[in-house]
Amino acid sequence: MTKTAIITGASKGIGAAAALSLAKNGYDLFLCGNNSIRELSDICRQCRELGVQCTTYTGDLSNSAEAENIVMQTLSLYEHIDVLINNAGISHIGLMQSMTEQDWNTVLSVNLSAAFYLCRQVVPHMVQQKQGKILNISSIWGEHGASCEVAYSATKGGLNTFTKALAKELAPSGISVNAVACGMIDTSMNAGFTPDEITEICEEIPCGRMASAEEVGDFIALLLKTSPYMTGQIIGFDGGWGV
């Protein structure tokens, strides 16, 4: 039976790379984005050219009703859900005391609450199937924290603990829950850094460079092949930066 995966934040960056990597591995896909309709459609087209079924969905994942719609539509199209990749995320750069409540709540809603909303909808179906894999895309800052990224760091730290706790709940049902804690990845989220800042950061990374989104996508596909016995893990993909 062909496996099916839901991927959020799939219009670009890590989400898009994961979609293409999973398509190469034969997954049918349900790709979710917020408002990047053209980019999302282009990724979907590329996935279909690889011989798999692919559907797109645009909506605000901070709204819990969207999670229900996503899962209902996926089941209607594909009848089962094998993989959920919670990748959607945003950052807010600036001093903590300059943040508004709206700034804080927006980052919290997209980076953490959206993962909860989708897991709440997906898990009953995975439990019924007695199998499934949930993969949360986190960050090195979820463990170490980053100056001027307090909200982002806090939500990724919360996502890490959410991953561990949910893994304990779902392990008896044969469902694994893990997270990938990414380091410096060459995506639009890091496009605000100057070349000099990028050079300075890369000097701190033992591998001496940023990773490409495609490297993360291929790593995600590899993780999905592992035994469900590997669960509750926060797996660093940071070139040794977090060691």
List active site positions. 152
201: three-class secondary structure by DSSP: helix
Cα gap 217→154, rounded to integer Å: 24
- Which of 238, 121, 127, 237 has the alpha carbon at shortest distance from 176? 127
- Which of 105, 89, 106, 114 has the alpha carbon at shortest distance from 12? 89
Please identify which residue in the block is written with the tokens 């170490």: 144
- Which of 69, 73, 9 has the alpha carbon at shortest distance from 36? 9
Q: Which residues pair with 178 in a beta bridge?
A: 135
Contact 84, 119 (CB under 8 A): yes
What are the strands, taking DSSP E only, across the chain? Answer: 4-7, 28-33, 54-58, 83-86, 132-139, 175-182, 185-186, 211-212, 234-237
Based on the number of CB atoms within 10 Å of its own CB, is 50 exposed (0-12), middle (13-18) or buried (19 or more)?
Answer: middle
Based on the number of CB atoms within 10 Å of its own CB, is 6 exposed (0-12), middle (13-18) or buried (19 or more)?
Answer: buried
